[in-house]
Structure 1
Amino acid sequence: MEKILIIDDEAAICSSLTFALEDKYAVKSTTDPLQAVMWAKEERFDLCLLDLKIGNVSGIEILMELKGIQEDLIVIIMTAYGTIASSIEAIKKGAYSYLTKPLNKEGLYSIVEQALKFQKLNRQVEYLSQELEKKYNYKGIIGKSPLMKNVFTLIEKLKDVETNVVISGESGTGKELVARAIHFSGKRKKEPFVAVNCAAIPENLLESELFGFKKGAFTGAAGDQMGKFQYANNGTIFLDEVGDMPMALQAKLLRVLQLKQVTPLGSNHPIELNIRVIAATNKDLKKAVEAESFRQDLYFRLNVVEISIPPLREKPQDLPLLFQHFIQSYNKELNKKIKGLSEEAQNCLLQYHYPGNIRELANILEYAMLMTEEPYIQLGNLPLELQKKSSAVFAYNQNPVDSLVGLTLDEMEKLLIEATLKKNEGQRKKTAQMLGISERGLRNKISKYKIDK
């Protein structure tokens, strides 16, 4: 049975409302707002009927206090005809609706029933959202697409073995998250996980950063320093962007991996290592080997197993889950209460191709949540560049010729290819024929424009 709290400074109204509702609901009523707040702290109510003015106390203040105690409490404001404007202000502060006095019994029953149904639906949505988050969240990695399920399967197979792993993928796809999932779900999880970005450290410092040095090893070496390999001993070292490592240092890294020992700069005493190496790259290492910018022997030493992380544009099924995940995450971080995306905002985000992948999506949603004070993110809250792209797609669909004015040739070509693919239900051969180009040419343009088809 749902529980209803009634707060009104007229005892007669409290009594009449209690009498009207107690056959169907568990009802508590009081003329004292402080008593009501105390009850709300002690037990959970489903709905509150709250007078807009309780003696000298503002109903809006009580509303905000009650919502602070129980966020999903449904509050219906009761007000006289002359204060409807104040009731609307209360709705902006979180009230569900308002009733005008004198109260109509049928209207009361109707709005209470409607409000409780709304709350039940909201609670179900919240529960299902949490269940979906659990179901499709693997060690902090969100995804339900077949491509991501394959990644999860590989993590499970690799977590408790000593095999070296290379994680490949575009920037922003979450390569370090995968590396951390392998480490923290495996037998080394209680040991150190040390991440090194090989592209972010200057070439002349990277060697000492990795292997450490002894006092006096070079000018400025005022004392001994442990390298990252030593810090990671017994655990995992994650070499991010390993494809950017200088060739001379690649040879030294190979020796460390072969001998399973590291010698700090300026020392003659090697240190034994019990370490797992996970590397990551946004480059094609096979092509780097062919171009002689990456050592073949190091490639084979590192790349026993490769995990390829798909770009976001190749797994559109994961987008709604990621929207939900980041909104929930930023709600906590930014102290917001955003419920989701408007239809227009969601359609815009679903159409975008995300060259920066998950990192870019996270930035877009953080920006949008900073820009909105409403329960749902609107199209106008998204970055201007996304709004322009969304408007261009909409305009093209409505009036293809006029909408092309102002676009670059590349943008027009991309829209034309997307529209033709859609018309042909993704059939590339038919699309190529209609566009008057070869299938290979179409394939190259789809790759160039990162068209999700």
Structure 2
Amino acid sequence: MDKDKVKILVIDDEPKVSWLLSEGLGKIYEIVYAKDGLEGLQMVSKTKPSLVLLDIKMPGMDGLEVLDKIKSMDRLTEVIMLSGHGETKNVVESIKRGASEFINKPFDVKEVEIHIQSVLEKTRLKRELDHLKNELKTKSQYEILVGDSPKMLQIKTIIEQVADSELTVLIRGESGTGKEIVARMLHTLSSRKNEPFVKVNCAAIPRDLLEAELFGYEKGAFTGAHKTKPGRFETANKGTIFLDEIGDMPLELQSKLLQVLEQYEFMRVGAIRTIKVDTRILCATNRDLNKALKDQTIREDLFYRLNEVTINLPPLGERREDIPLLIEHFLQKYNTLYDKKYRPLSSRSIELLQEFDWPGNVRQLENLIKQVVVREDEEIIYDTLKTPSVQTGSYSPQKPSFSETRNYSLKKRVGDAVAHEEKALISEVLSKTNWNRRKAAGLLEISYRSLLYKIKEYQLAG
């Protein structure tokens, strides 16, 4: 039986109907059939069909009763009703009880095929929508600021204090430290939470388009402006606008932004009247704005206006005590998102992750944990951290050698002993197989990739 075929159960007391559908649709679908309601319910339980074609008039248990029982067993099972008695009351009652469609007998097989395709397509779209909703729910659930180090607790306190205010907040920090998460938290904890949150990356939009993107434009304002277009500030009305990389905003636009900050009004490009908006403004940058002020690449009045409240996010290297919490958080996030059941990391992996310098900050750690979960392979950590492109110069995750200075830590002594024996055994097996790595991996009962990693880790050479 073709496992890729959609399974359709036909419940009808007329053998001719089942035969006709099997002959006409058997090449496309897997057709199974039952001669009455009782057998049909047993088949639903046993075969788990994607779709049921159900006759409404049968001896014993009628179609409507069978429909009720099918829906009580699995409400997601789609049912198309068949009837030679197409009374309106039957059609309405069937739909009320959960039937997807209603086909009158006698029917043309091609007509039935069209109905089946329509129902299956609707089912596919519904499942896709449910998946996207769950994914969105998962993402929002995990868009929180993780960490209980003193610096992070102080930041969380500031967020709670200023979230439900109209103060302009400037979020500063290196790339990957979580500036957008802070902005979204400020929005979510405010009275504007049910209104739009609009993000604009000032560095990603070309200078000559940024004004039109932020403030909109009137029809005919420039070549190609065939119709009036509202800007991001109008879109964010009643809500929050998040201006990321504010330090990259051109000097000539800063005066217009200042006008919005102070008077809550602006003009579209090519317009002659002002537009009023009620928008909370949050900004973020990874640039040194004090230096930008000295270099005169940011207006002094805008600088002080943006500085009503400043949140400084520390790089991950300055809050290493939060790394175990972040690891657990990302493991849960991606296990849920990708329907995985990947186990917690080993203590050795966590230690290595805590020792690393993380030039890409939390984003770099998150991407690494995502790979581990998706590929279900913890060794990715060691391979990645040893790669020169992610090294910062001083750190290299080498496994401690057995000959290191004597240490009374039981955990470390056991780890050293295991490493020593592992290296010796791998060397012995490689010699025995004349360095046939695939053969050696088979004898060691580990994957070929794992063996290559161990050879590299212990610096073994043939």
* TM class, shorter-length: 0.5 to 0.7
1:232-280 deviation per Cα after TM superposition (whole angstroms, max 9, x unaligned): 1111111000001111111221122222101101111111121111100
Give the counterpart of 2:265 among 261, 266, 271. Answer: 261
Task: State the 1:353 CA deviation.
Answer: 1.3
Task: Give 1:229's aligned amino acid.
Answer: F
Give the counterpart of 1:333 among 331, 337, 340. Answer: 337
Tell me what 1:230 maps to: 234
3-state SS of 1:172 partner: coil
3-state SS of 2:192 partner: coil
Task: State the 1:293 CA deviation.
Answer: 1.1
CA contact (8 A) 2:163 2:189 kept: yes
Task: Give 2:367's aligned amino acid.
Answer: N
Task: Give 1:382's aligned amino acid.
Answer: I
Task: State the 1:139 CA deviation.
Answer: 6.6
Give the counterpart of 1:294 among 283, 293, 298. Answer: 298
Q: 1: CA distance between counterparts of 2:208 and 2:142?
A: 38
Task: State the 1:393 CA deviation.
Answer: 4.4
1:173 counterpart = 2:177: yes
Give the counterpart of 2:375 among 371, 376, 379. Answer: 371
Q: 1: CA distance between counterparts of 2:234 and 2:175?
A: 28
Q: 2: CA distance between counterparts of 1:251 and 1:174?
A: 28
Tell me what 2:318 maps to: 314
Task: State the 1:287 CA deviation.
Answer: 1.3
* Match runs of 1:45-444 below 5 Å: 140-372=144-376, 378=378, 380-382=379-381, 384-387=383-386, 392-394=396-398
Distance 1:168 1:365, change over 3 A: same
Distance 1:343 1:260, change over 3 A: same
CA contact (8 A) 1:214 1:223 kept: yes
Task: State the 1:159 CA deviation.
Answer: 1.1
Q: 1: CA distance between counterparts of 2:164 and 2:330?
A: 30
Task: State the 1:316 CA deviation.
Answer: 1.1
- Superposed CA RMSD: 2.4
3-state SS of 2:284 partner: strand
Task: Give 2:381's aligned amino acid.
Answer: L
Task: State the 1:303 CA deviation.
Answer: 1.2
3-state SS of 2:195 partner: coil
Q: Which has the larger radius of gyration?
A: 2
1:176-198 deviation per Cα after TM superposition (whole angstroms, max 9, x unaligned): 11111111111111221111000
1:128-179 deviation per Cα after TM superposition (whole angstroms, max 9, x unaligned): xxxxxxxxx9972111111010111101110111111100000011111111
Q: 2: CA distance between counterparts of 1:242 and 1:320?
A: 32
Distance 1:274 1:391, change over 3 A: closer
CA contact (8 A) 2:385 2:396 kept: no
Identity across aligned pairs (percent)?
A: 45
Q: 1: CA distance between counterparts of 2:168 and 2:160?
A: 14
How many residues end up aligned between the 2 structures?
261
Task: State the 1:352 CA deviation.
Answer: 0.9
CA contact (8 A) 1:211 1:226 kept: yes
3-state SS of 1:189 partner: coil
1:358-413 deviation per Cα after TM superposition (whole angstroms, max 9, x unaligned): 111111111122332xxxx53x232623145699443687789xxxxxxxxxxxxx
Distance 1:259 1:252, change over 3 A: same
